[in-house]
Every structure is written in structure tokens, then in C-alpha cells.
Amino acid sequence: MKFIIGVSGGIAIYKVVDLVRKFKKRGDEVRVVMTKAATKFVTPELFREISLEPVMTDVFGNDETAAHIKWTKWCDAMIIAPATANVIGKLSSGIADEALTTVAIAMTKPLIVVPAMNEAMYNSAAVTANLSTLKTRGVKIIDPSKGELACGGEGVGRLPESEEIVKQVDKILSQKKTLFGKKIIVTAGGTREPIDPVRYIGNRSSGKMGHAIAKAAADRGAQVVLVTTSNLTPPENVRVINVESAEQMRYIVNAEFEMSDAVIMSAAVADYRVAEPATQKIKKNSDTLTLELVKNPDILFELGQKKNHQILIGFAAETQTVEENAIAKLKKKNLDMIVANDVTAKGAGFAVDTNIVTLITSKGLNSYPQMQKSEVAEIILNELEKFLTNDKN
Ligand code: C5P
């Protein structure tokens, strides 16, 4: 592998000398680009000697012209270690004022950032927000470890040991990006249909299945839009749009649909909503209260009517005659695949971490044993990939 290692001016820089040696020792090629501050800790000559490659400290005055672009073409990935709060801030706002930030912004290949700094800096609102911005853009972050800090004291912010960085880099780069370039909409959670400003009609869906699918798709390199009602922490590297009602979900899904390659509707969309939600909190004045419900639009059915190239995957959460109902829905909604499950079965359905599913396409059905939702996500995406490849031919 060919790595660019971007070194910024953190005291942990001494560990990066070892990191470069480790990569070189196992046969990788390494070029180092340093910020000005980094050169105050270690001279470029040291990195030149151990990498046996040129070291860049400035965009100007290099042996080759437009060296920053040529380097990004040369490498397989860039690792920024240590990444200071300053560099992370610049990367998140697209500032390219030095060689390191200029190379980083020109990267079209995997970019891995390894933050290292004092704990208070690492936990600051700015660094937290900047790192999450980078994650949503597909930048991979290797979390700092906990322990003795170079600035004194203990805490989170330590640059991991070089073996650990090598291990994590290998893991990140070995993940197959089989869905790279594909845009996938995933819906998750149960919709909340307002009754009045404080109450809603909901259902037991937790959003776990949809979030697991979004994560697995992002890990395969897809550009994921997660339209969710769930309070779960969303996975990294996905664009999250929080919604509440079926109508909001429908609006967002429709807005994203044309440019997408697939929609996986794992959300439990309410079939009915309150006809006219009260504008003020309903008082408990009477002994009975009648709510008039009207039918919600069937988002998936509508998508099935207008799809052109998009692959549509639906869920059929059933409590009886699971497969029959699911097959009927596959046809009625014009879907490519439906994931059927009996939500009353132990270890399946809402809120638990496992599921028992049958994947149904026009070609037939495949029943699986109880699995983690993360594993179910993988088998769904394996099928989706088959559809997308056929689609291309
Ligand atoms: O018809 P049923 O609600 O059982 O179908 C379930 C599938 O349809 C799920 O994928 C669900 O997300 C989707 N759905 C929808 N809009 C609705 C109801 C369900 O998109 N109003």
C-alpha cells in the first residue's frame, strides 16, 4: 500500500516516527506531509530518512509541480496522525492553507484522521462538531485512547500506539466498498402521528433494524440517507434526517427518491393518522374521547408506482400468515424484495437486537434462522447488491 501520512504539530508526533517505520518495515510506501508546527517538533529530514521518500512541508518549492495533486494520485490512502484540533477544524471547513490541509482536501481516496490532543480540547464542542462533520463526509476517525497525556495528567486524547493505528488502518481499508457510488434511502422507526401538541399515536418499532441497515450500507461505501423517527444514536457516515409523522417521512423520501438507487423502507409507518390534530392540548373534560382517523398515504406503494431504476425493499411485519401476506404486498407495492417477519415470534420484531426473517423476491423465498439485526442487514444488502448489479447490465 502507498500511504500519505499527514503529520500535524502535536507532541504525540514522536509515535508517528515509529508508525512510518512500521509501515515501511512490512513493505508499504510512505510519504510524509508536515504542517509548519510539526516541523518545530521534528525535522523533515528525520521523516525523509526513514521513509526514503520526499517530505512535503509547503505547497510551493517542491521538486514537482502541483505536488499535492500528484501525491493524492500516487497514494492509496491518507492518514493524518496526530491530527490536532486546529487541523480537524480546517478539514471540516475546507481550509487549505498549508501543504497538509491542501493535500487532504484534494484526497479522493480514503482519508483517516487520528486525533490526539489534551482531553479538554478533544471534548470541546468545536472538536466534537468538527469530527462529526468529517464522519458524515466519509472520513474515517480512529478514536484516541485513554491514559497518560503528553501535556500532563490522564484522560482521553492519547494517540494510540503505532501497532494499534496500523491494525485499525488495515481494518478500515479492508472493508469492501461494494456499494460505493450508490445512494440509498433507509427509513427507520415507528411514525408518530400527532393527536395534539403533546400526544401522538405511535407503535413499538425502535428503529434498530433500519439503523443497522444504514450502518451496514455506509460501511459498504454507500451514500446513505437515514430518514428516522428513532432516538437511537445514528450510525456514522450517514446523513440523518429526523422526522416524526408519515407525512413528513413521505415528503423527505420523495424529495430524495429521484437521485437514489434504492429505498429500504424498514420504518413502521402508521396506516392511519388523526384527521385533525388539536392545536392546543386536549383537556380531560369528558368521559370519552373519540378521535377520527384517516388513512395515511402508503409511501412504498407510491414509490412502486413511480420507480424507474430504483430498487425498492419493503418490510412486512406480520402477526399471522406471514409469507402469504408478504408475497401479496411484494406484488401490490411493486417491490423488488420484501423482508417478512413474524413480530410476535420470540427473538424477532420490535425493540429486540435479533430478528427472524424471510427474504422474498419474485424468484422465491429464503428463510433465515434467528440472527443479530446487524447480520440481517448484511443479508439484505447482499441481495440488494445483486439487484444493483443486474440493474447495470
Ligand atoms: O402494508 P404494510 O404496512 O404492512 O407494508 C409494510 C411496508 O410498507 C413497510 O416497508 C413500510 O415501511 C411500508 N409502508 C409505507 N407507508 C405506509 C405503510 C407502510 O411505506 N403508509
Q: Name the pLDDT band for 393 (thresholds 50, 70, 90).
A: very low
Quote the pLDDT of residue 144.
Answer: 95
Separation of alpha carbons 375 and 355, rounded Å = 9
* CB-ligand 1 contact for 318 (6 Å cutoff): no
Quote the pLDDT of residue 325.
Answer: 94
**Arithmetic mean of pLDDT, 292-317:** 97
Q: Name the pLDDT band for 391 (thresholds 50, 70, 90).
A: low
Question: Where do the CATH 3.40.50.10300 domains begin and end in the chain?
Answer: 183-388
What would the pLDDT profile of 250-286 be if each residue is shown by its tens digit?
Answer: 999 999 999 999 999 999 999 999 999 999 999 999 9
**Arithmetic mean of pLDDT, 1-14:** 95
Residue nearest to atom 9 of ligand 1 (CA): 315
Which positions ≥6 away from 31 have C-beta within 8 Å? 2, 3, 4, 5, 51, 53, 54, 55, 56, 71, 74, 75
The CATH number given to 183-388 is: 3.40.50.10300
Average pLDDT, the chain: 94
* CB-ligand 1 contact for 219 (6 Å cutoff): no
Residue 250 grid cell: 413521505
Atom of ligand 1 nearest to the CA of 313: 10
CA of 265 to the centre of ligand 1 (A): 7
Quote the pLDDT of residue 338.
Answer: 98
* CB-ligand 1 contact for 299 (6 Å cutoff): yes
Atom of ligand 1 nearest to the CA of 325: 4
User: Which residues on neighbouring strands pair with residue 83, listed in sequence order?
Assistant: 115
Mutation probe of ligand 1 site: the residue of 186, 201, 265 with most atoms within 8 A of C-beta:
265
Contact yes or no for 311/388 (Cβ under 8 A):
yes
**Arithmetic mean of pLDDT, 371-393:** 87
Q: Look at residue 392 and tell me whether its pLDDT is greater than 70.
A: no
Quote the pLDDT of residue 174.
Answer: 80
- Closest CA relative to residue 238, chosen from 311, 187, 313, 204: 187
What would the pLDDT profile of 206-243 be if each residue is shown by its tens digit?
Answer: 999 999 999 999 989 899 999 999 999 999 889 999 99
* CB-ligand 1 contact for 269 (6 Å cutoff): yes
**Arithmetic mean of pLDDT, 385-389:** 94
DSSP of 219-281, one letter per residue?
A: HTT-EEEEEE---SPPPTTEEEEE--SHHHHHHHHHHHHTT-SEEEE-SB--SEEESS--SSP
What would the pLDDT profile of 36-53 be if each residue is shown by its tens digit?
Answer: 999 999 999 999 999 999
What would the pLDDT profile of 320-371 be if each residue is shown by its tens digit?
Answer: 889 999 999 999 999 999 999 988 888 888 878 999 999 999 999 999 999 9
CA of 341 to the centre of ligand 1 (A): 13
Cα–chain center distance at 112: 15
Question: Where do the CATH 3.40.50.1950 domains begin and end in the chain?
Answer: 2-174
Q: Look at residue 12 and tell me whether its pLDDT is greater than 60.
A: yes
Is 151 assigned a catalytic role? yes
CA of 275 to the centre of ligand 1 (A): 19
Mutation probe of ligand 1 site: the residue of 192, 257, 294, 300 with most atoms within 8 A of C-beta:
300
Catalytic residue among 42, 151, 156, 352: 151
CA of 169 to the centre of ligand 1 (A): 40
CA of 196 to the centre of ligand 1 (A): 24
Which positions ≥6 away from 392 have C-beta within 8 Å? none
Separation of alpha carbons 88 and 79, rounded Å = 12
Q: Which fold has domain 2-174?
A: Rossmann fold (3.40.50)
Quote the pLDDT of residue 344.
Answer: 85
* CB-ligand 1 contact for 265 (6 Å cutoff): yes
Q: Name the pLDDT band for 176 (thresholds 50, 70, 90).
A: confident
Residue 247 grid cell: 407525512
Q: Look at residue 181 and tell me whether its pLDDT is greater than 90.
A: no
